[in-house]
């Protein structure tokens, strides 16, 4: 595969879901990672990633996968944290389930958007037809008039795709797309909740493996892509070192769901079951995020239908198809 591992485009969601599902099964069976790589099945065009990962296997699961182009930086960070905790299986399962849900949601969304997409195409093509029929527009003018919107639309789609690719493959510290998304109403809040969920889930895995909280906090913070949020979370460790409890340190932060998180942390610290309480918070946040994603998948096609209908109406009215006029020489 041409290009360095760092420049590789992340694999499709369904392929990544299948990859992590296979790795989870083999990890649960006790198969070493380097042996598992020889048994993993991927589409032909993605198999060089496996060979590249085996080449760097001495670096460990996370870094070998990152060097070989098998994992994205975010996946590598999560796996690095779970490998330190001695339990990469949980992360394999979490990533597999997450990607499987996203792949199914994207497939359903594309299917629902197909019909409004066809309406848009028809609207674009039929706009100048009256002028073409009456001879006021040449075939060349028709093609130019119709090609320009497609070129503009293609440019927008390309930019969005490139933005998404860079968001998945770029290192976390420079997260311009993430900062931009955090400013979007509704979507910004859910993006912050995803980051907080990843932080507490990674922290829970590390604590469950027996890692001291002061050692686990920086590693868990590294899973957060939002730079502003990472800055907030980095203040937890100094506050604990100054004598505050974990709950008191978190209470001084500002993020959606803070009250619920603090309540569970207080319970976990008092009962000695902090990892379990953090896992409970993570699972509740995952369920809420999934509900939001399902809602978007349900309403996006409806919005597309509405926009398509408005566009068709505007095109017909603007074309004058229903308002015939006398030829110029009869006026």
Residue in 150, 148, 151, 146 with CA at minimum distance from that of residue 127: 146
Residue at 77 is within a domain:
no
Q: What pLDDT was estimated at residue 172?
A: 42
Most confident of 49-58, 160-169, 214-223, 319-328: 49-58
CA-CA distance, 12 to 5, in Å (whole number)?
Answer: 16
Q: Which of 167-171, 202-206, 283-287, 307-311 is predicted with the least confidence, judged by mean pLDDT? A: 167-171
**Are residue 299 and residue 194 in the same domain, yes or no?**
yes
Region at 243 (left for phi over 0; alpha for psi -120 to 50; beta for the rest): left
**Are residue 149 and residue 229 in the same domain, yes or no?**
yes
**Are residue 177 and residue 308 in the same domain, yes or no?**
yes
Q: What pLDDT was estimated at residue 201?
A: 85
Q: Please say if the pLDDT value at position 78 is more than 50.
A: yes
Find tokens 């083999």 and name the residue: 26
Residue at 103 is within a domain:
no
Q: Please say if the pLDDT value at position 251 is more than 90.
A: yes
Check: CB of residue 277 under 8 Å from CB of residue 267.
Answer: yes
Residue at 86 is within a domain:
no
For the segment 120-134, the average pLDDT, to the nearest whole number, is 64
Indicate the number of domains in the chain.
2
What single-letter DSSP state applies at residue 11? P
**Are residue 53 and residue 143 in the same domain, yes or no?**
no
Residue at 152 is within a domain:
yes
Domain span at residue 58 reads 5-71
**Are residue 60 and residue 142 in the same domain, yes or no?**
no
Q: What is the dihedral of CA 178, 180, 186, 191, to 10 degrees?
A: 10
Higher pLDDT, 176 or 285: 285
Higher pLDDT, 14 or 322: 14
**Are residue 159 and residue 276 in the same domain, yes or no?**
yes
Residue at 14 is within a domain:
yes
Q: What pLDDT was estimated at residue 126?
A: 64
**Are residue 62 and residue 130 in the same domain, yes or no?**
no
Check: CB of residue 148 under 8 Å from CB of residue 159.
Answer: no
What single-letter DSSP state applies at residue 26? H
Q: Please say if the pLDDT value at position 197 is more than 70.
A: yes
Prediction pTM value? 0.59
CA-CA distance, 27 to 146, in Å (whole number)?
Answer: 54
pLDDT tens digits, one per residue of 135-151? 666 666 666 666 666 66
**Are residue 39 and residue 126 in the same domain, yes or no?**
no
Q: What pLDDT was estimated at residue 217?
A: 92
Q: What pLDDT was estimated at residue 48?
A: 93
CA-CA distance, 104 to 49, in Å (whole number)?
Answer: 24
Q: Which of 60-74, 186-200, 275-289 is predicted with the least confidence, judged by mean pLDDT? A: 186-200
**Are residue 22 and residue 120 in the same domain, yes or no?**
no
**Are residue 67 and residue 163 in the same domain, yes or no?**
no
What single-letter DSSP state applies at residue 172? S
Q: Which of 71, 100, 122 is the last residue of a domain?
A: 71
Residue at 247 is within a domain:
yes
Residue at 328 is within a domain:
no
Q: What pLDDT was estimated at residue 105?
A: 74
Q: What pLDDT was estimated at residue 2?
A: 40
CA-CA distance, 11 to 74, in Å (whole number)?
Answer: 13
Q: Please say if the pLDDT value at position 13 is more than 80.
A: yes
Q: What pLDDT was estimated at residue 176?
A: 44
For the segment 87-93, the average pLDDT, to the nearest whole number, is 85
**Are residue 152 and residue 42 in the same domain, yes or no?**
no
Task: Compute the half-sphere exposure of residue 286: CA atoms within 13 Å on the CB side of its CA.
Answer: 17
* Residues listed for the chain: 331
Backbone angles phi, psi at 59, to 5 degrees: -80, -10
CA-CA distance, 322 to 313, in Å (whole number)?
Answer: 11
Q: Could you tell me the CATH number of the domain that includes residue 296? A: 1.20.81.30
In which band, very low, low, confident or very high, does the pLDDT at 310 lie, cut at 50, 70 and 90? Answer: confident
């Amino acid at each position: 595969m041409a290009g360095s591992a760092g420049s590789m485009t992340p694999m499709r969601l369904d392929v990544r879901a299948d990859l992590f599902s296979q790795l989870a099964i083999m990890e649960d069976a006790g198969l070493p990672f380097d042996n598992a790589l020889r048994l993993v099945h991927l589409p032909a065009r993605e198999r060089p990633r496996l060979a590249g990962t085996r080449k760097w296997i001495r670096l460990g699961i996370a870094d070998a996968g990152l060097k070989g182009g098998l994992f994205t930086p975010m996946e590598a960070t999560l796996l690095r944290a779970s490998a330190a905790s001695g339990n990469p299986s949980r992360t394999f399962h979490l990533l597999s389930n997450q990607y499987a849900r996203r792949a199914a949601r994207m497939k359903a969304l594309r299917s629902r958007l197909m019909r409004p997409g066809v309406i848009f195409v028809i609207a674009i093509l039929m706009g100048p037809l009256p002028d073409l029929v009456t001879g006021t527009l040449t075939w060349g003018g028709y093609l130019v008039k119709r090609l320009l919107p497609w070129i503009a639309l293609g440019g927008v789609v390309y930019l969005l795709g490139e933005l998404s690719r860079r968001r998945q493959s770029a290192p976390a510290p420079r997260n311009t797309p993430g900062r931009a998304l955090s400013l979007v109403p509704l979507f910004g809040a859910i993006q912050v909740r995803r980051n907080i969920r990843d932080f507490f889930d990674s922290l829970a895995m590390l604590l469950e493996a027996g890692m001291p909280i002061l050692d686990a906090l920086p590693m868990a913070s590294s899973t957060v892509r939002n730079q502003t949020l990472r800055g907030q979370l980095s203040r937890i460790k100094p506050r604990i070192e100054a004598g505050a409890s974990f709950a008191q340190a978190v209470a001084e932060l500002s993020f959606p769901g803070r009250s619920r998180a603090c309540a569970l942390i207080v319970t976990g610290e008092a009962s000695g079951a902090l990892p379990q309480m953090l896992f409970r918070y993570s699972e509740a946040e995952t369920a809420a995020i999934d509900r939001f994603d399902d809602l978007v998948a349900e309403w996006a096609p409806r919005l597309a239908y509405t926009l398509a209908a408005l566009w068709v109406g505007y095109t017909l009215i603007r074309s004058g198809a229903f308002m015939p006029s006398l030829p110029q020489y009869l006026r």
